[in-house]
Each structure stands twice: as C-alpha cells, then as structure tokens.
C-alpha cells in the first residue's frame, strides 16, 4: 500500500471544509489517512503545507516562464511582457481549477495561511528579481517591483478565488497592470 501525498492533501482539504481549518488537527488527518502523525509530517512539513503544497506546481511553472522569457530577451515593452507571461503561466498547469479555488479560498479566509504567501512566494520573488536584474533594472527598483508584482498577483488569485469566474487570467493581467516598469 503505497502512500499518495495528493490523496492525503485532498483528504485534508475535505476535512478542513467539513470541520474548519483550525478545528482539524494533524492527528485527525493522520487518523483519517490511516497513518501516524509523524508519517504525515514526513510528507507535509507543516499543516499549512497541506494547502500551500498543492500550489507549488503553479508557482514553479510561473518561475519557469520567467527563465524562458529571459532567453527570449525581447526588449522594449519586453519587461512587462515577461512578467505578464509568467503571471499567467501558472494557470496552464492547474489540473482542476475548482480544487485550486478551494485551496485559495481557504488561504484567503485564514490570515495565518495568507501570511504564508510571503514565504511561499519568496523563491518566485527571487527569480523575478534576477530576471529584472538581468534585463538591466537597477537593484533597488527590481526589489520593489518584485515585491509589488508578487503581492498584486497574489491578490489577483485571492479575488479570483472569492468569485465564480472560471478564468483567472484576466485577474492576473489586471494585477500586473498596476506596475510601472522603467522605460515602458
């Protein structure tokens, strides 16, 4: 009987929906999954990871899109184009939008989980920073831009999750639009 982390995560998501996030303990989840609490921690390093872990492919895809955009190295309005492409790239790798919406709603409703966005998106922020630096953006501007970029796109995901629109792309594009890039 091989253990499937995805199955455990969706099981946890169900328990959270039924009983509430903070009223569901890691022990409850472990029991329901038929494993020990310690084993559960081997697959998910924290309770928040049960939720945020599922968003990782989305974040990774977005990061990959940035690397690709850097190679293309289009200049002119290319700065914006790269960030836009990266913001939207995550959408394509989501297998089931409604599941992701469930995760994001949970995140939106729990400040403790939403706060984790800062840490969860840190690698992505760093990638974006290097991307901008490589394109000649000054260090401080790149730092501020990336902070703003990730906060705005995260807010876009939150807003999409709160509603019922099927497509998150317009939200993400609108979010990127509040940025002012140098020389654009």
Partner DNA sequence: CCACCTTATGACACGCTGTGTCATTATGAA
Partner DNA sequence: TTCATAATGACACAGCGTGTCATAAGGTGG
- From the list DNA, a copy of itself, none, pick the one residue 59 interacts with, judged by a Cβ distance below 5 to 8 Å according to partner type: none
We find the least distance from the C-beta atom of residue 173 to DNA, in angstroms, to be 34
The single residue listed with the structure tokens 């969706």 is 10
d(CA 143, CA 125) in angstroms, rounded, equals: 9
Q: Does residue 6 touch DNA according to CB under 7 A?
A: no
We find the least distance from the C-beta atom of residue 33 to DNA, in angstroms, to be 9
Show the tokens assigned to 30. Answer: 């472990």
Nearer to a copy of itself by Cβ, of 22 and 112: the residue is 112
Q: Does residue 106 touch DNA according to CB under 7 A?
A: no
Nearer to DNA by Cβ, of 65 and 107: the residue is 107
Which spans of this chain sit near a copy of itself (rule: CB under 8 A)? 111-112, 114-119, 122, 140-141, 143-145, 147-152, 154-156, 159, 171, 174-175, 177-181
- Of the candidate spans 35-43, 52-60, 72-80, 124-132, the one that interacts with DNA by CB under 7 A turns out to be 35-43
φ, ψ for residue 166, nearest 5 deg: -70, -35
By CB under 7 A, how many residues form the interface with DNA? 18
Nearer to a copy of itself by Cβ, of 24 and 117: the residue is 117
Q: Pick from 18, 38, 96, 164 the residue near DNA by CB under 7 A.
A: 38
Other C-beta atoms within 10 Å of 136: how many?
11
d(CA 50, CA 134) in angstroms, rounded, equals: 35
d(CA 10, CA 41) in angstroms, rounded, equals: 16
d(CA 40, CA 54) in angstroms, rounded, equals: 15
Q: How many residues belong to the chain?
A: 184
d(CA 22, CA 20) in angstroms, rounded, equals: 6
Site residues for DNA per CB under 7 A: 1, 3, 24-27, 34-39, 41-42, 45-48
């Amino acid at each position: 009987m091989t253990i499937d982390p995805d199955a455990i995560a969706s099981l946890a998501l169900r328990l959270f929906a039924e009983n509430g996030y903070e009223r569901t303990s890691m022990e409850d989840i472990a029991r329901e999954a038929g494993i020990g609490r310690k084993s559960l921690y081997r697959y998910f390093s924290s309770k928040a990871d049960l939720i945020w872990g599922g968003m990782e492919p989305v974040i990774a895809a977005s990061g990959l899109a940035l690397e690709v955009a850097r190679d293309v190295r289009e200049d002119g309005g290319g700065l914006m184009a790269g960030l836009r492409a990266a913001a939207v790239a995550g959408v394509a790798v989501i297998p089931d939008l409604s599941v992701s919406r469930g995760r994001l709603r949970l995140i939106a409703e729990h400040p403790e989980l939403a706060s984790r966005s800062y840490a969860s998106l840190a690698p992505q922020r760093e990638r974006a920073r290097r991307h901008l630096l490589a394109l000649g953006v000054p260090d401080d501007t790149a730092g501020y831009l990336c902070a703003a970029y990730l906060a705005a796109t995260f807010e876009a995901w939150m807003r999409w999750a709160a509603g019922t629109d099927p497509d998150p792309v317009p939200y993400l594009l609108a979010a990127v639009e509040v940025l002012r890039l140098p020389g654009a």
